Amino acid sequence: MSKKHRLADLQMAIMQVLWEKGEATVAHVRESLLPDRELAYTTVGTMLTKMEQKGQLTHRVEARVNIYKPAIKPDQVKRRMLTDLAERLFAGDVGDLVCCLLDGVDVSPDDLAEIKRLIRRKEQELKGAE
Give rounded-to-5 percent helix, strand, coil for the chain: 65, 10, 25
Per-residue pLDDT, 7: 76
- Residues 6 or more apart in contact with residue 66 via CB below 8 angstroms: 25, 26, 48, 59, 60
Same domain, 46 and 95: no
pLDDT along the chain (130 residues), means of 10: 65 96 97 91 96 96 97 93 91 92 92 94 90
The whole domain housing 118 covers 74-128
The Cα–Cα gap between 70 and 15 comes to 7
| 65 in the same domain as 7 | yes
Number of domains in the chain: 2
